[in-house]
Structures are given as C-alpha cells and as structure tokens.
Homo-oligomer: A and B are copies of this chain.
Amino acid sequence: MKKLPLSFRLETVPASPIRKLVPFAQKAKADGVKVYHLNIGDPDIKTPDVMLKALTSWDRNPISYSLSQGEPSFITALKTYYHRLGFGFIEDRHIQVTNGGSEAVSMAIFAVANPGDEIIVFEPFYANYNSYGAVNNVTLVPVSTKLTDGFHLPEQKTIEDAITRKTKALLICSPNNPTGTVYTKKEMDMLVSIAKKFGLFLLSDEVYREFSYDGKKQISLFSYMQEIPYQAVVLDSLSKRYSLCGARLGCLISLNEDIMGGALRMAQGRLSSGLVDQVMASKLTEVPVSYTKAVQKEYQMRRDVLFHELSTIHGIELPSKPEGAFYAIVGLPVADAEDFCKFLLTTFRDNNETVMLAPASGFYGTKGRGRNEVRIAYVLNTDALRRSVEILGKALEEYPKK
C-alpha cells in the first residue's frame, strides 16, 4: 500500500485558530457541558425578518445557477446600499459577488500578487488571511501593532521599512478583526499616501463597517476610491451586518476594470454563488435603519459589559476599549493561551459550564507573538457575557501554574 507525497503547499495551509479547538468543544457538549462560544464571530443577533420571509415564501423551482457576477437583484441591492452610504459612483460593473468575504479577500490577493510576492498586513490580523496567503502562494509580511497602543498603526516609517521590491499591496481591516480597532482619518490618509508613494494596491476588508461605537464613524476606503481608482479594492461581507454568517455572501468592489474582469473570470470557474442566499440577501434594501442602529447599540453595551467584567480579573492585560467590530484581544496571565483554551474545553467545569476562546497566536505573523493572548468575540447577550467572564476568572485561578 503505497503512500504518495501530497503537495508541500498543503502543509502550509494553517488550521483555523478559531476553529481548530472545535473537536474539544464537540466532545464537551457531547458530555452534556454547556459551552459559551466567545471563539467565533457568529452573532446571536437575529437575521432581519424580511430576509427570512424570502425563504418561507420561496416559489422558484428548480434552484438554478445564478450569474457568475452575481444575481442581478442582489447586485442592484448592493449598489443601492453603497449609494445610500454616499458612494454614488459605484455601478453594477464595479461589484463582483463572492462566497463570503473570504472569497473576496482571496480573489484580491490572487489578482494583485504572483507566487512569492508579498502583501503587508498589520498584526494581529484576521487569521484566515494566512489561508488565503497559503492557497495563493503569497507571503504575508506582518507589521506589528501593540495592545498598549490600542492596536493602532505604527508611524509611517515603520510601515515603509517593511516594503520590499516584492511588495504588491497593503491589506487592512477597519473596524478590525481581531482587535476592534477603527483606523482614524489620519491613519487612512497615511495608508493611501503610502500606496501612492510606492505604487501599491490597497485592499480594504470592511465587513464590520457599521460596527463602530461611541459615535465614531468608520472611514471607508470608498472615500479614497476615486482618488486611487486603480489601486483601491474594497472587500465586503453581509455576514455580520445582517447576521447572515451562514449565507456565505460578500463582494469585491473596485473601479479597476482589469481587476473586475479577472475576478469575473475566477467567478466563472466556480459558476455562481448560492441562488437562495442571494435572493434572501437582496432584501437588504428593505432592512430598516433601526435594525442597524439597534445592533450597534447592543454591541456597544456588550463591549462595555465585557470590559467592565474583565477589568475585575487579576492579571488580565486589557487594551483601551476597542472602537468597533465585536472582538477584543486581551492578554491572560498564562504562558500559553492555547493550552489554557484547551484546558477550558477538556478539564475545567463550573457548574458544568465552560467557555471557548480563540488563542491569539494564530492572528500573528511573527512567531512567538500573542502567545499569552486570546481573542474574545462578544457575540453573546450581556448575561451570557457576564457568566462567561465569571467562568474565565475561575478557570484562571484553577489553571495549574507550570
């Protein structure tokens, strides 16, 4: 029985730090343990009714392919959404529907970088970027941001020092996953000026656009898109905005027609995104503004509760309160946060309950960084959050000091 070697690059695709502990969680649940999930940004907020009605009133048969660019009604809905945000220059041809934000990021990386090229990211960064780098054979070059700076960007020179002849793009995310940081106008101006100065693409993952708090507003790359039409690419997703994580819908937006042409050809290769999901999501224009406002208010409250509760735990290292998204990176008084997360799932129980967190090291590109940190997704209601932090505190006390 001959065992053949697989491709060496298969090994380079990392396990998701958000999901790799799932088997331990499944085991705990099978044993009757209640697990509070703070490991994944899978909100408990309801999907808008008007979207679910598109399912319950479904009358198309058969379930046919959609167009590769996207279902026309869905593209129109997306365009309307961007126009309402104030970006009236976006036309149908600037929008490519994708299977979640994931595919949008991956397509953008493929489009701008060849195998061996480099893309600059700011660590900690969304861990799945590592996968998109690996499947596209592109190197992600991390520039560090720090907990003590609220994970805001370093000075321009530090970023420019990371640029080499192989650098093709900067990939940013604001409001940020996993830090919650929202880049200021000054930071966005700086990124655009670097892109101009060095001739780089600027890829902006904006799936948390509406999730900013304390009255602050996200500064979108759309605001700069007409200034750098060939360089700007926005990557978007409906997953968080409408609690549609399971619908796998996002889009790639650019004024650069060569990028859009390439994205469409890639999209043709996989035929289309899901028809049912797109028909459901095309109701987004009918979602009332009050829905988004209520979601925003709810998350701001959750963030406040989470930070208040965490601040009572001895030894926890907290950044300044994140301005957006629904994540926070916090330092724990442990040497190896991944080991602690496993301990939570396999060993620790409080009244037969425990908590699942995402070890943060997978969100860093620099080896060794973030080892004592976890990412907390505050996607549960405030009671569950309070209880989760209580469990976390007790677990830290019981966790064997090595």
Binding site for B on A (CB under 8 A): 1-4, 6-11, 13-16, 18-20, 22, 40, 42-47, 51-52, 55-58, 61-68, 99-100, 102-103, 106, 110-115, 117, 128, 130-132, 134-135, 137, 168, 196, 199-201, 229-231, 243-248, 258-259, 262, 265-266, 268-277, 280
State in angstroms the CA–CA spacing of A111 and B274 once bound together.
25
Q: Could you say which residues of chain B place their CB within 8 Å of the CB of A112?
A: 4, 6-7
State in angstroms the CA–CA spacing of A66 and B247 once bound together.
9
Say yes or no: B7 contacts A265, CB within 8 Å.
no
Q: How many copies does the complex hold?
A: 2
State in angstroms the CA–CA spacing of A20 and B14 once bound together.
35
Offer 17 A-B interface pairs, CB within 8 angstroms, sorted by A. A4-B230, A10-B110, A10-B111, A11-B262, A19-B68, A47-B61, A63-B244, A63-B245, A63-B246, A64-B245, A99-B99, A100-B270, A102-B271, A103-B270, A106-B270, A131-B269, A274-B277
Q: Could you say which residues of chain B place their CB within 8 Å of the CB of A229?
A: 1
Q: How far is the CB of A181 from chain B (nearest CB, A)?
A: 22
Say yes or no: B268 contacts A20, CB within 8 Å.
yes
Say yes or no: B268 contacts A15, CB within 8 Å.
yes
Q: B45, B61, B135, B270: which contacts A266 (Cβ < 8 A)?
A: B135
Q: How far is the CB of A119 from chain B (nearest CB, A)?
A: 11
State in angstroms the CA–CA spacing of A244 and B64 once bound together.
6
Say yes or no: B274 contacts A248, CB within 8 Å.
yes
Q: B4, B52, B243: which contacts A231 (Cβ < 8 A)?
A: B4
Question: What would 15 more interface pairs be, CB under 8 Å, given A13-B266, A135-B269?
Answer: A1-B229, A6-B262, A7-B111, A7-B113, A9-B114, A10-B265, A13-B265, A13-B269, A15-B265, A16-B265, A20-B268, A63-B246, A64-B246, A128-B269, A245-B271
State in angstroms the CA–CA spacing of A230 and B45 once bound together.
44
Q: How far is the CB of A327 from chain B (nearest CB, A)?
A: 15
Q: How far is the CB of A130 from chain B (nearest CB, A)?
A: 8
Interface of A is mostly: loop
Q: Could you say which residues of chain B place their CB within 8 Å of the CB of A111?
A: 6-7, 10
Say yes or no: B245 contacts A65, CB within 8 Å.
yes
Q: Could you say which residues of chain B place their CB within 8 Å of the CB of A247?
A: 63, 274-276
Q: B14, B51, B231, B246: which contacts A265 (Cβ < 8 A)?
A: B14
Q: B22, B42, B196, B274: which contacts A64 (Cβ < 8 A)?
A: B42
Q: How far is the CB of A390 from chain B (nearest CB, A)?
A: 25
Say yes or no: B40 contacts A62, CB within 8 Å.
no
Shortest beta-carbon contacts, A-B, top 4: A131-B269, A246-B275, A16-B268, A62-B243
Residue in chain B with minimal CB distance to A113:
B7
Q: How far is the CB of A286 from chain B (nearest CB, A)?
A: 16
Q: Could you say which residues of chain B place their CB within 8 Å of the CB of A280?
A: 63, 276
Q: Could you say which residues of chain B place their CB within 8 Å of the CB of A42?
A: 64-65
Q: B7, B22, B64, B132: which contacts A110 (Cβ < 8 A)?
A: B7
Q: Could you say which residues of chain B place their CB within 8 Å of the CB of A56?
A: 55-58
Q: Could you say which residues of chain B place their CB within 8 Å of the CB of A40?
A: 65
State in angstroms the CA–CA spacing of A112 and B7 once bound together.
5
Q: Could you say which residues of chain B place their CB within 8 Å of the CB of A8?
A: 114
Say yes or no: A272 contacts B259, CB within 8 Å.
no
Q: Could you say which residues of chain B place their CB within 8 Å of the CB of A113?
A: 7
Q: B106, B115, B269, B272: which contacts A132 (Cβ < 8 A)?
A: B269
